Amino acid sequence: MGDPSGVGPEIIAAAWPALGKLCRPLVLGHPGVMRRAVTLRHPDARVVEITGVAEAEPSVLAVPCLKACHHDAADVPPRQIDPRGGQAAYDALVCAIELARRGEIDAITTAPLNKAALDRAGHHFPGHTEILAERCGMNEFAMMLYLPPCDALGGDAGLAAVHATLHTALANVPRELSPARIESVIRLSDSAMRRLQGGEPRIGVCALNPHAGEAGLFGNEEATLIRPAIRQALSGGINVVGPLPADTLMARARDGEFDAVVCMYHDQGHIALKLLGMHRAVNITLGLPIVRTSVAHGTAFDLAWQGVANEQSMIEAVRVAARLATPEVNVPQRNLPPSVKGV
């Protein structure tokens, strides 16, 4: 459900009629909060409180909700940073992770949490991704922002942006990059896109500096950090090219030349993909033993609990989660263009 103060509960309620066509959904969070959201966005439905996954019998008019957080989550006021909201989001996520690891659910789709509320609740994580990695005991992980095939894209596989660094200050980015980290993200990108599209994906790697460093004039990270990672990935048989200037690479990827772009920092990928499809983009956590997707937006306190928040990203996130949970059924092999390997 995410943070009760934000748009999470209501976009679940608004999306609910579409979700049952994609999977057998149930909500983890607080039933009282979910009832308010259903009254606001899907008033014909009713929330059914359950005590276990096996009790869930979802339908267009029945929203099963497993209580996964403290009762005070129902007291969190709308549109405010509140530690109780951060705790509620954390508790629901931890519950979902444990259910997924035990095989009781096949995939997790998360509504947004508020990072400040999470921090005030005593959980000092930059976001969902790092909590998921810690609880699953994974050291190699990454966040992918994925835009499924649409009219804005020239390719037929969608487009992914995968981040070598994520929720960190821009000043920290160069020292958080290393050849090993970049090569790991390239490998994770290759593996994820093979599941999503079938066949060998084409991966472009962003430079860190403008003009890819202009032969060292604007920085040497391309030569010392990024190229060694690409060479290592190439030696492992991955179809990857770069480092390329981010501005032209994203345009080439949009036109269908690449299926995934490895970005050096958050906004390199987020800005481009959200301009192409803000409400269709999906967040996918790579490197986990479980499937997790998310909406591609935050808690949106300016819109929350007014009945106007857009639910499309929630629908797309559930669609992609269901697809990843059953890849052998849903992912066709596609015809691949000639290789674009090179550095």
Asked if residue 155 has pLDDT above 80, the reply is: no
pLDDT for residue 328 = 59
Q: Which two tokens stand for residue 70?
A: 């403290």
Strand 282-286 with 142-147, pairing? antiparallel
Average pLDDT over residues 327-333: 48
Percent of the chain with pLDDT over 70: 95
Average pLDDT over residues 123-137: 92
pLDDT for residue 342 = 33
Q: Where are the beta strands (DSSP E) in 57-202?
A: 62-67, 108-110, 142-147, 159-163
Asked if residue 183 has pLDDT above 50, the reply is: yes
pLDDT in tens, 312-322: 999 999 999 99
Average pLDDT over residues 58-69: 97
Average pLDDT over residues 42-55: 97
Is 139-287+311-343 CATH 3.90.25.10? no
Q: Which two tokens stand for residue 146?
A: 């994925």
Asked if residue 303 has pLDDT above 90, the reply is: yes
DSSP state of 148: -
Asked if residue 212 has pLDDT above 50, the reply is: yes
CA 8: distance to chain centroid? 15
Q: Across the chain, what does the average pLDDT equal?
A: 91
pLDDT in tens, 234-272: 999 999 999 999 999 999 999 999 999 999 999 999 999
For residue 197, name the pLDDT band (cuts at 50, 70, 90): confident
DSSP labels for 169-207?
-GGGHHHH--HHHHHHHHHHHHHHHHHHHSS---EEEE-
Q: Which CATH architecture has domain 1-135?
A: 3-Layer(aba) Sandwich (3.40)
Domains 1-135 and 139-287+311-343 share a fold: yes
Taking the CA of residue 140 as centre, how many other CA atoms within 13 Å lie in the half-sphere pointing to its CB?
A: 12
Contact (CB, 8 A) for 88 and 305: no
Give the residue with greater pLDDT, 339 vs 102. 102
194: Cβ contacts below 8 Å, ≥ 6 apart: 200, 201
Average pLDDT over residues 111-116: 95
Q: Which two tokens stand for residue 61?
A: 């008019």
Asked if residue 149 has pLDDT above 50, the reply is: yes
Give the residue with greater pLDDT, 339 vs 123. 123
Q: Which two tokens stand for residue 157?
A: 């596989």
For residue 338, name the pLDDT band (cuts at 50, 70, 90): very low
Domain ranges of the chain: 1-135, 139-287+311-343
Measured CA to CA, the distance from residue 153 to residue 134 in angstroms comes to 34
For residue 331, name the pLDDT band (cuts at 50, 70, 90): very low
